[in-house]
Structure 1
């Protein structure tokens, strides 16, 4: 992984910050999260790669434009595990979208 920090993204030092309210997404094992700092396809890939490495994750779709990451898994994921994966990628998990 590249060196990144939570104060910005890999692509800009002044990344737009996103916020969202917690809502449930229908379907077991499907969750949508808000992630701040993503600005491009590289950002989407970095976040997707880290979350995909979590046990039970089957698909990840990150969208920089909206700051949303949709995760499908065999069972609901521990939010702290998702937070740690997003942090490892160099971004900040705001919470559920």
Structure 2
């Protein structure tokens, strides 16, 4: 599965775990992207807090009542496409 990713950030390489934004900030840096260019997908409230803390766009996967801080929410990963994210963001 590693072939599908351009980079991976080892959680052991950051000082604190989620909801600290360090891991998502590190991922943006490894990819040479500004935070506002990054979309993070998460299935936990702590993960959403982490993405938001890094200044990135947060996409929640799962119960919208739990992932209330997500910028966009989808019930399952099958629903996630770049176009679906754009449509959801544009409708806010």
Task: Give TM-score scaled by structure 2 length.
Answer: 0.27
State which structure, 1 or 2, has the greater radius of gyration over its C-alpha atoms.
Answer: 2
Q: Give 1 or 2: higher helix fraction.
A: 2
Which fold has the larger relative contact order, with Cα–Cα distance below 8 Å and residues 6 or more apart in sequence? Answer: 1
Task: Give TM-score scaled by structure 1 length.
Answer: 0.26
